[in-house]
């Protein structure tokens, strides 16, 4: 008979593609994990993992078994959640992934209050790029992602939170600083600083401006920026412009706010959502998280009709 423990082991091996790391994640020894998987293969008379490959990969039938194992494990977790809901117990672990262009501005707004309101929920937060969060969701290594949508990813559901405007941050010596009306054409300039590849906000800026080839040619140096705060510091010191999300202005100093400008011909927005697996078992926890963030965000940011959503994919 197949046990839930054996299913957990084969899912762990598929996730890490390494017996040692999988055993560590399951808090058992590698020989114990290997023995259990070998026993499962013998009982089912199939080979689940091709051990001749490095990293090891599932066989065709093994992959089908692993995919179904993920469904069964999620449904098992959902059974436990049904019991907790019946007992009105709000508890459990919530593993959250959040993108770097949201983390410093959004987390401080809600995470402390969420933890105080629900002390029995163990919260683990990791800061990752969008592609990394999607990968972690597919592998069930996190429960929910807070990121920019739409993702258009199979097996991932999206629950929109708010729509923040994309704004312009300008050095006072830049020619656009004194310009009353700033258009998309104005910022399609080699003087714009962008985040490094892998950040969806960079892709949104590129999609918004429909340019990329001339970027960096008139900048004082080439820089692969990993954070918006770094870009704003560089704009302050070395000139040029960059784009920032609206949340970044909520805690910004009054002096810095003088460098923020709005587009005159368009109000570009980025849609921020919770994303989670279709088999996500912690429905109650994710709904509580959604409600807590919505409560913390200004009401005007929750209106999708306030502008035009810019996709990044």
pLDDT in tens, 160-207: 999 999 999 999 999 889 988 888 888 877 788 888 766 787 778 777
Residue 174, CA atoms < 13 Å, CB-side half-sphere: 27
Q: Please indicate, yes or no, if residue 289 is contained in any of the structural domains.
A: yes
How many degrees, rounded to 5, is the angle at CA 188 between CA 185 and CA 189? Answer: 125
What value does the mean pLDDT of the chain take?
A: 86
Write the CA distances from 8 to 152, 223, 250, integer angstroms. 28, 43, 43
Domain count of the fold of the chain: 3
Span 290-306, mean pLDDT? 93
What does residue 277 show for φ and ψ, rounded to 5 degrees? -70, 150
CATH number, domain at 252?
3.40.190.10
The secondary element (H helix, E strand) that includes residue 311 is none
Closest CA to 165 of 313, 51, 16, 301: 301
Span 85-92, mean pLDDT? 67
Contact 310, 207 (CB under 8 A): yes
pLDDT at 88: 63
pLDDT at 65: 93
pLDDT at 98: 96
pLDDT at 214: 44
Domain end residue (candidates: 85, 104, 121): 85
For residues 250 and 184, membership in a common domain is answered with yes
Q: Which residue has the higher pLDDT, 147 or 214?
A: 147
Euclidean distance between CA atoms 115 and 111, whole angstroms: 6
- pLDDT at 144 > cutoff 50: yes
**Strand segments (E) across 151-285:** 156-170, 241-245, 260-261, 268-277
State how beta strands 268-277 and 308-309 pair: parallel
Query: Which range has the worst mean pLDDT, 113-122, 164-173, 218-227, 285-294?
Result: 218-227
pLDDT in tens, 52-76: 878 888 999 999 999 899 888 878 8
For 23, the domain range is 4-85
Q: Please indicate, yes or no, if residue 17 is contained in any of the structural domains.
A: yes
Q: Please indicate, yes or no, if residue 304 is contained in any of the structural domains.
A: no
Euclidean distance between CA atoms 192 and 225, whole angstroms: 12
For residues 179 and 218, membership in a common domain is answered with yes
Q: Please indicate, yes or no, if residue 194 is contained in any of the structural domains.
A: yes
Span 104-128, mean pLDDT? 91
For residues 34 and 121, membership in a common domain is answered with no
For residues 260 and 175, membership in a common domain is answered with yes
pLDDT at 172: 94
For residues 212 and 64, membership in a common domain is answered with no
Cis status, amide bond into 150, omega within 30 of 0: yes
CATH number, domain at 21?
1.10.10.10
Confirm whether pTM is higher than 0.85: no
- Nearest 10 degrees: CA dihedral of 96, 101, 106, 108? 90
CB 151: neighbour CB atoms within 10 A? 21
Burial class (CB in 10 A: 0-12, 13-18, 19+), 76: middle
Q: Please indicate, yes or no, if residue 132 is contained in any of the structural domains.
A: yes
pLDDT at 196: 75
Q: Please indicate, yes or no, if residue 302 is contained in any of the structural domains.
A: no
For residues 12 and 93, membership in a common domain is answered with no
For residues 156 and 168, membership in a common domain is answered with no
């Amino acid at each position: 008979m197949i046990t839930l423990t054996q299913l957990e082991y084969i899912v762990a091996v598929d996730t890490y593609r390494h017996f040692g790391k999988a055993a560590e994640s399951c808090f058992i020894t590698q020989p114990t994990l290997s023995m259990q998987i070998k026993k499962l293969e013998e009982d089912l008379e199939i080979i689940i993992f091709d051990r001749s490959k490095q990293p090891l990969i599932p066989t065709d039938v093994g992959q089908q078994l692993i995919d179904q194992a993920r469904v069964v494990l999620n449904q098992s977790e959902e059974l436990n959640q049904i019991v907790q809901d019946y007992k009105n117990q709000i508890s459990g672990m919530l593993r959250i992934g959040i993108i770097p262009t949201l983390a410093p501005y959004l987390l401080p707004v809600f995470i402390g209050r969420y933890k105080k309101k629900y002390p029995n929920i163990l919260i683990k937060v990791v800061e990752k790029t969008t592609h990394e969060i999607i990968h972690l969701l597919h592998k069930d290594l996190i429960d929910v992602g807070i990121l920019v949508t739409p993702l258009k990813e199979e097996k991932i559901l999206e629950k929109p939170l708010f729509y923040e405007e994309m704004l312009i941050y300008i050095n006072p010596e830049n020619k656009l600083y004194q310009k009353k009306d700033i258009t998309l054409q104005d910022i399609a300039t080699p003087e714009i600083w962008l985040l490094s590849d892998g950040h969806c906000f960079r892709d949104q800026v590129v999609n918004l401006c429909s340019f990329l080839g001339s970027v960096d040619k008139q900048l004082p140096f080439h820089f692969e920026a990993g954070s918006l705060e770094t870009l704003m510091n560089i704009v302050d010191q070395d000139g040029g412009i960059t784009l920032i999300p609206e949340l970044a202005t909520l805690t910004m100093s009054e002096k810095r706010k003088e460098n923020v400008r709005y587009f005159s011909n368009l109000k570009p927005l980025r849609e921020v959502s919770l994303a989670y697996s279709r088999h996500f078992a912690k429905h109650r926890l994710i709904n509580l998280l959604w409600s807590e963030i919505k409560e913390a965000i200004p009401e005007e940011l929750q209106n999708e009709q306030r502008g035009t959503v810019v996709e990044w994919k």
